[in-house]
Amino acid sequence: MVVTFRNYTLVIILAIIVTVSAQQEAFGAKPTVIISSSESSPTNANPISITATFSEIMRTTGGSGDIVEIGDFEFKNVSSSSALDSSLNPIYTFTVTPTADGEVEVKIKKNKAKNLAGDKNKDSNKFKIDYDSTIPPVIPPVIPPVTPPVEEEVSGGGGSNEHKTKPTFAKDHNTHAQIVENGFKFNNFSKTLTDNFHTNYPIQKVNVGSLSTFTAKVYAQKELKVQEFLFGISEVGKQDAELGIEIWFDYQQNIYDVNVVQPTKIIADNIFISHSKELCSSNANTECDQTTINIVFLEPLKHNVMAIKAIDHKGRSQITYLNEGFDVFGNSINPMLTKQIHSKIKYEGLITVTQTEKYSNLWTAEDGRVFDESKHFSLINPTIKKGTYERIGVAERLQAEGQALMAKSYFDSSKIQSDNEGFAWND
């Protein structure tokens, strides 16, 4: 099911969660690809939905051998396939029609397409699923509407309503007993959080352009209302996130809205989200809400600390910090920022400058001049310095500011004149 919220495409995966490699691949490594289906085996679905999940964003322009095409896939017991939907790159979807009852096989060989860096893909897994047209169709049960729960009033605290515990990714706030196992998961790396406020979580590397999976599991006695993933926090205890992803739930625990807060385009528009009820731990019958997001970072983050936050339908919240967090690194896929600044050279007017890299204070002009934003866009490769000579705006600065005579005492005038044809000293 595909739903669009605020121009972001949300894919709610109800049957499966695609597992991404635990090790983030470094730049220059070949992208991996996992083929899967939302159908379970055996299935009577016809056609059968197929998903190919690449570990990185793939090229969208070029010919055969550059971009992912439906002809790159190999099939067994398939009579036809649909067109390839690449709008959710790096996740590609299509359908196949079985030729007959039996095993259906789908795979893609290596070197069929390239990522943005020009590296070709590795061999995929060999996906197999049994097709059986004789299986009777499954009629989904009719679920009656659920009304909001009636709050139980417990005495104490000046007569206000109190409840056993607010949401937790770790321990009961009153008894301090461990409730949740594996409260957080990054790709295949699971972590049982043992402190409700912060956890010593070893720093993880995340490549710009790679698909990353984050999972939070929370116990919310009064039903989960909002699950948040907060990235790029400056330090534990603050909520100054560079990126925030909010998933909103109704009383039936259906996702009804997604809000992405980012000052710049930090992640791709395609956000893949799944939600399910899971046992909080292996030795308990208590159910938790498990929410998974699959995102692709388009540029690095300035800070590493991450946090997960939950709010229940009573309005009670809990935020838990992952101390070391995530180092999102690599060259920005987004174009560098440009702006116009006022030149400090008379009569030059506005100059167009481009930021050298994400978060840098240095901006370059087309002629090579470098300006420092932290110093009010002062020129940092100087035009006049005793014993040296920079060929940047020499004629303009010397003539406009009337410093030709002083400059002559610093430099060999014949050398300057030979380097700058048409420039003359006024002796």
For 381, residues 6+ apart whose C-beta sits below 8 A from its C-beta are 368, 369, 370, 390, 392
Which three-class secondary structure state does DSSP give residue 186?
strand
**Do strands 326-329 and 204-207 pair parallel, antiparallel, or not at all (unpaired)?**
parallel
Domains (range + CATH), the chain = 31-131 (2.60.40), 184-329 (2.60.40.10), 338-419 (no CATH)
Residue 47: predicted pLDDT: 93
User: What amino acid occupies position 405?
Assistant: L
Q: Residue 217: is its pLDDT beyond 80?
A: yes
Per-residue CA distances from 88 to 91, 181, 328 (Å): 5, 32, 21
| pLDDT value, residue 139 | 59
User: Please, what is the Cα angle at 20 between 17 and 23, to 5 degrees?
Assistant: 155
**Category of 28 on φ-ψ map: left (φ > 0), alpha (ψ -120 to 50) or beta:** left
pLDDT digits (tens, 9 = 90+) for 57-101: 889 888 888 999 999 999 999 999 999 998 888 889 999 999 999
pLDDT at 28: 58
Q: What is the pLDDT of residues 279-300, one digit of tens each?
A: 999 888 889 999 999 998 988 9
Banded pLDDT at 227 (limits 50, 70, 90): very high
Residue 381 has pLDDT above 70, yes or no: no
Q: Is 278 helix (H, G, I), strand (E, B) or coil?
A: strand
Whether residue 21 has pLDDT greater than 50: no
- pLDDT above 90 covers what percent of the chain? 35
| CB crowding 410-426: b at 16 or more within 10 Å, else e | eeebeebeeeeeeeeee
| Percent of residues, the chain, with pLDDT higher than 70 | 76
Q: What pLDDT, on the 0 to 100 scale, is given for residue 142?
A: 56
- 145-187 residue pLDDT tens: 545 545 444 444 444 444 467 999 999 988 889 999 999 999 8
Rounded to the nearest integer, the mean pLDDT of the chain is 78
pLDDT of the residue at 241: 92
- Range with lowest mean pLDDT among 46-55, 119-128, 171-180, 370-379: 370-379
SS3 call for 250:
coil
Q: Which residue has the higher pLDDT, 39 or 164?
A: 39
pLDDT at 98: 95
Could you read off the pLDDT of 189-208 as tens digits, one per residue? 889 999 989 887 788 888 88
Q: Is the pLDDT of residue 270 over 90?
A: no
